[in-house]
Amino acid sequence: MIRKSEFSSVSLAIVAALPFVHLAVGGTSLAQRPQMGWNSWNAFGATVNYTIVQDVIERFDTLGLKEAGYEYVLLDDGWASFNRTADGYLQANATSFPQDIKALAEELHNQGLRLGLYGDSGHYTCAWRPGSWGYEERDTQTFASWDVDYLKYDNCGGFQSMTEAPQIRFGAMKNALALSGRDIFYSVCGWGYQFPWHWGGDIGHSYRISGDITASFANETKCECKTAYCLNTGYAGCSVLTIINKMKEISQYQTRGHWSDMDMLEVGNANFTLNQQQTHFAFWAALKSPLIIGADLSKLSNDSLAVLTNKAIISINQDALGEPVAYREAHSEEGFFQVWAGKVEGGYVVLLLNEKSYPQTTSLSFASLGLGTPERIVELWSGKILQDVDKFNGTLGSYQTLVFKVQT
């Protein structure tokens, strides 16, 4: 692997420490709302290719995803060749992408969509393609010349580059993007290391808060770190419920334009019940996480598609206030029910989650949340208007979440 000898770790640290040029990340309209799109990794791993992408582009239209607000088509690890060019530039895998990336970007742009690529803050990517450590400016110039719109920047790297703090490694790419001459959405994928909710918003448009999501709703096999502040010494994947629980401690730090990324959606990509899929999507939406589909679009069931294109739930995610819901411990019952609430335009939204695998009956006073006097309440999944604006009384099914939009 070719490495620029003139770019030492010391110079990278200096670059990362420079004041951020807000024109590139903080001052554009790129991240005024959480990003929505599709990513290749969860369904295809490192085997993504042009045929798959062509099918995705077509299905964005035929399935109504583009109409629902999804706009980014993100090529995760595997799009690049195993080697840089002779003069040190990234290049696409010629077998998987026989037409160049710039032509693919043009094809997407002609369809009203945007192209995203994957990179890594170390010597190698997770699938052993070239990383961008030491090549930040060269690679961002390449992305800009290809008309790329989005960069997901990962944390696999290598032992030498991992000795640098993530703020240094991800910060170096932040500054390189600022100098690229193109507005490129910057998605920091640092797996939650060193608590990025305290610094990630100063670097990226979004930042990952945990290890990879798994196709498990509640049962853990690898995720030993089940809270936001435990010391996780190794990479781990986490279930949907664990990631939700981590956000109890994190959602308060999120600011508009710098979103906490709970990872890609497993809706349609896992053997989840309809209740589980609705809970998954509702929490990602209400916590203002990016809505990035991770499923094979050719295999989506009608139920999964209905969840992913639910306009009422998406509107919570894309609400102009950009305020995530917060966990209401005083109104919740640990291990049984969770209550989350937050403001939206014209009122507030309330999520009521049954944490158990069996139905439970509960009640909730909306006025007691202190967010305003309810005048009209709609449960968004069913579309039903509550007759009693003071209180909900009812039974929730296994892992079900009811989403109430309260007008004040």
**What are the backbone angles phi and psi of residue 296, rounded to the nearest 5°?**
-75, 110
- Compute how many other C-beta atoms are within 10 angstroms of the C-beta atom of residue 285: 27
User: What are the catalytic residues?
Assistant: 154, 212
Question: 3-state SS string over the chain?
Answer: CCCCCCCCHHHHHHHHHCCCCCCCCCCCCCCCCCCEEEECHHHHHHHCCHHHHHHHHHHHHHCCHHHHCCCEEEECCCCECCCCCCCCCCCECCCCCCCCHHHHHHHHHHCCCEEEEEEECCCECCCCCECCCCCHHHHHHHHHHCCCCEEEEECCCCHHHHCCCHHHHHHHHHHHHHCCCCCCEEEECCCCCCCHHHCHHHCCCEEECCCCECCCCCCCCCCCCCCCCCCCCCCCCECHHHHHHHCCCCHHHCECCEEEECCCECCCCCCCCHHHHHHHHHHHHHCCCCEEECCCHHHCCHHHHHHHCCHHHHHHHCCCCCCCCEECHHHCECCCEEEEEEEECCEEEEEEEECCCCCEEEEEECHHHCCCCCCEEEECCCCEECCCCCEEEEEECCCCEEEEEEEC
**What are the backbone angles phi and psi of residue 170, rounded to the nearest 5°?**
-75, -30
Q: Is the dihedral of CA 282, 283, 285, 291 positive or negative?
A: negative
How many whole angstroms separate alpha carbon 137 and alpha carbon 217? Answer: 40
Contact 126, 156 (CB under 8 A): yes
How many whole angstroms separate alpha carbon 170 and alpha carbon 365? Answer: 44
Contact 116, 74 (CB under 8 A): yes
